[in-house]
Structure 1
Amino acid sequence: MEEKLSGRSWAISQDYSRRLDEAKEIDFDSMIADAIKMIETGQYQSPYSLILVDEFQDISEPRANLIKALRQQRPSCKVFAVGDDWQSIYRFAGSDISLFTQFHDHFGECWTGRLEQTYRCNQLIAETAASFVQRNPAQLKKSVRSSRAAIPRSIRVIPVGDNDTKPDYTQACYAVLERLDTALGNIAEQWRTEPGTKLKVLALWRYNRLDPFAGKPPNFENIEVAGMSFHRAKGLEADYTVLLDVSEGDYGVPSQIEDDELLNLVIPRPEAFDYAEERRLFYVALTRASRGVYLLTHHRQSSRYIRELCQIAGDDVLFETIDGSPVENQCPDCKVGQVVQKRTRTGSSFRGCNQFPTCRYTENSRPRGKAKPRG
């Protein structure tokens, strides 16, 4: 199978190169390869003694080789790289996180400094998200301090749909936005600095097929709404975010769509930790909000990541309905499900969690464990 794939990959590569030659064009990787060749053969002499690289977590092997070639040409040349391995989300474009996390193996002995102050999300979201992303032991360790005080229960989970209806995330998103607009209007004197001021809200989704606005965000009196994918939201911030379909499934969170076998031949190897990049992508989405984040999830198939947030932040993860009412009959064990009436195969009645088999809680059983404290 591997030999067959290699043959197909070679054929595609040859055809691609032929088409570039016929059009008398080169692609970006070819530009980098030609630049490296000019440096190594001495056709280009670098005048630079200091190389600064931002967003280094997104570096690819060809780009790293270009930096190495420039550095090796001048023994006194230094490299200063800045990045955040927790936000490395572009493997599909060739980024290799190991170039960042194992910097010294690729560039030699180095000094490492940590920037641990954040000015974006409040302390509750910052701490919870930091604990979440560091569950992957390969991520570099650091603690995060926010300039914004913790806002209790600023992580809210809203189950969408019920036993009779499928989740309608477009309708749910609009309902949450309308509710948020009304609530902020009622307390406008607490946040509005001047007439016409609006708070920013980002609606975010894993795949663009879930865009509830069809490219045209709605207008509200008190909030300015924008919508985009998790990937596009990197680097942005808002007062509130609404994350759509944080559920299990191929197009959910984490996405369970496997990479094409051919694609895997030309991008860095997958990491050992399950869904490592999906975890970082969810971290990016979770940390866009300064005041609060709303997670819309399938009522029967909540994402495993929501369960983890409950384990980390405990009661600071608030479960509520679309209109803001408390979720009734919340499972005391997993926190994610609801205790509903069920029947055994023999016809006897009992009450148990609707997240079975993920959660096996019944009213006559004891919870397997309480939510862990934050941190």
Structure 2
Amino acid sequence: LMGTGTELKITHTYRNSQELIDIAGGFVQKNSTQMRKQLTSPKHLENPVVIETFDDSFKQTKALAEKVEQIIGKIISEYGIKKSILLIGRYNYDMYKLFNTGLFSELPNNRVKSEKYPNADITFMTAHSSKGVGYDNVILINMFEGKFGFPCQIEDDPILKLVVHDDKSMPFAEERRLFYVAMTRTKNRVYIATPKNRPSRFLIELIKDYNLTYEGEINMETVDLFSLRCPVCGFPLKYEFNKNYGLNLWICTNDSEVCDFMTNDKVHKHDIFKCPKCKDGYMIVKYNAKNGDVFYGCTNYFSDTHKCTNMIPLKDNSK
């Protein structure tokens, strides 16, 4: 048993800038059950959250690795080679995927070597393991929307739910707190490497609430897992990268022997199929930017070695 006590609240921080605290704190305290606290900091920094977009339409892991490499270069240019950089992922394998690109390699004690910037001071941690630490700059490397993205959308084991508190106060309440942790590990800026087609709903929320700027394009319509239905069998469609096709696809969750529907376009929902002309590419839904016409086009259209111009007109079912 414990006697009487006094609740003491932390009101000051010297790690983060006031501008970052306002953004991260406002984000996490949207949850009405979150403990109310107002932090102040003597530090000030313009643009504490930097959004860096990359094209996840094709070879998304390689595109992400190249973007992270570019961000590291920007950090070195602004802060110098000796300043520490923390890469934060939602899962441990987020970093292993980058290792597989050859642009980064693993060192002991969670250290990371950049092949382009071998002397850079880089460490990797998951959002969970980063609690309590501070680095000069932070790069978030898993800002995808989806089952294994951030927020994580994996359904918890029913047995685990019996012993672990499941906060239902708002959607992804625990993930919001974890995202707050990830954002506030930096002493300067947090760089968010985000896919333009499938960005995290958390990032979209930050952009809308705080008018954050970014270069390039971002799909502001967040993709909720299992929000679309298969036009063939009615089962939910899941959105994920299919390495066999090298594309992000909406794929039917029914048994593949019952329904193998998949499409690259959630609006028109036309099934993709093998190109009958080149026998190598796949016919996917495309549209004419000038007149809006919808058509099937071969994925080998831009190929240097197997260029295929096969096209099949389609009726636009969205009209």
TM over 0.5: yes
Secondary structure, counterpart of 2:38 in structure 1: coil
Paired residue for 2:65?
170
The CA RMSD over aligned residues, in Å, is 2.9
| Offset of residue 154 of structure 1 | 2.1
Q: Of residues 123, 144, 159 in structure 1, which corresponds to 2:53?
A: 159
Paired residue for 1:200?
84
- In the alignment, the residues of structure 1 paired with residue 120 and residue 83 of structure 2 have an alpha-carbon distance, to the nearest angstrom, of 5
Kindly provide the amino acid, as one letter, of the partner of residue 47 in structure 2.
Answer: R
Kindly provide the amino acid, as one letter, of the partner of residue 48 in structure 2.
Answer: S
Between stretches 175-184 and 287-296, larger displacement belongs to 175-184
Residue-by-residue CA offset, 1:21-40 (whole Å, 9 max, x unaligned): xxxxxxxxxxxxxxxxxxxx
Within the alignment, does 1:227 sit opposite 2:124 as a pair?
Answer: yes
Write out aligned runs for 1:354-365 (5 A). Answer: none
Within the alignment, does 1:210 sit opposite 2:94 as a pair?
Answer: yes
- Structure 2's unaligned 5+ residue stretches are 99-103, 223-285, 294-319
Within the alignment, does 1:122 sit opposite 2:13 as a pair?
Answer: no
- Asked if structure 2 preserves the Cα contact closer than 8 Å seen for 1:159 and 1:299, the reply is yes
Tell me which protein shows more strand as a share of its residues: 2
- In the alignment, the residues of structure 2 paired with residue 205 and residue 214 of structure 1 have an alpha-carbon distance, to the nearest angstrom, of 16
- Asked if structure 2 preserves the Cα contact closer than 8 Å seen for 1:131 and 1:312, the reply is no
- In the alignment, the residues of structure 2 paired with residue 335 and residue 292 of structure 1 have an alpha-carbon distance, to the nearest angstrom, of 26
- CA 1:207 to 1:119, structure 2 compared with 1: closer, same or farther past 3 Å? same
- Asked if structure 1 preserves the Cα contact closer than 8 Å seen for 2:55 and 2:196, the reply is yes
Within the alignment, does 1:133 sit opposite 2:133 as a pair?
Answer: no
Secondary structure, counterpart of 1:289 in structure 2: coil
- In the alignment, the residues of structure 1 paired with residue 161 and residue 134 of structure 2 have an alpha-carbon distance, to the nearest angstrom, of 32
| Offset of residue 309 of structure 1 | 1.1
Residue-by-residue CA offset, 1:1-50 (whole Å, 9 max, x unaligned): xxxxxxxxxxxxxxxxxxxxxxxxxxxxxxxxxxxxxxxxxxxxxxxxxx
- In the alignment, the residues of structure 2 paired with residue 127 and residue 257 of structure 1 have an alpha-carbon distance, to the nearest angstrom, of 30
Q: Of residues 158, 161, 181 in structure 2, which corresponds to 1:261?
A: 158
TM-score relative to the length of structure 1: 0.52
Q: Which runs of 4+ in 1 moved over 4 A?
A: 219-223
- Asked if structure 1 preserves the Cα contact closer than 8 Å seen for 2:52 and 2:67, the reply is no
Secondary structure, counterpart of 2:85 in structure 1: strand
Secondary structure, counterpart of 1:131 in structure 2: helix
Paired residue for 2:178?
281
- In the alignment, the residues of structure 1 paired with residue 188 and residue 25 of structure 2 have an alpha-carbon distance, to the nearest angstrom, of 17
TM-score relative to the length of structure 2: 0.60
- Asked if structure 1 preserves the Cα contact closer than 8 Å seen for 2:12 and 2:40, the reply is yes
Within the alignment, does 1:319 sit opposite 2:214 as a pair?
Answer: yes
| Offset of residue 140 of structure 1 | 1.6
- Asked if structure 2 preserves the Cα contact closer than 8 Å seen for 1:206 and 1:230, the reply is yes
| Offset of residue 330 of structure 1 | 6.9
- In the alignment, the residues of structure 2 paired with residue 165 and residue 215 of structure 1 have an alpha-carbon distance, to the nearest angstrom, of 21
Secondary structure, counterpart of 2:19 in structure 1: helix
| Offset of residue 167 of structure 1 | 4.2
Kindly provide the amino acid, as one letter, of the partner of residue 210 in structure 1.
Answer: D
Higher Rg of the two aligned structures: 1
- In the alignment, the residues of structure 2 paired with residue 222 and residue 199 of structure 1 have an alpha-carbon distance, to the nearest angstrom, of 11
| Offset of residue 138 of structure 1 | 0.7
| Offset of residue 161 of structure 1 | 2.0
| Offset of residue 145 of structure 1 | 0.8
Secondary structure, counterpart of 2:208 in structure 1: helix
- Asked if structure 2 preserves the Cα contact closer than 8 Å seen for 1:121 and 1:291, the reply is yes
Write out aligned runs for 1:301-320 (5 A). Answer: 301-314=198-211, 317-320=212-215
- Structure 1's unaligned 5+ residue stretches are 1-69, 72-76, 80-110, 186-196, 321-326, 337-341, 351-375
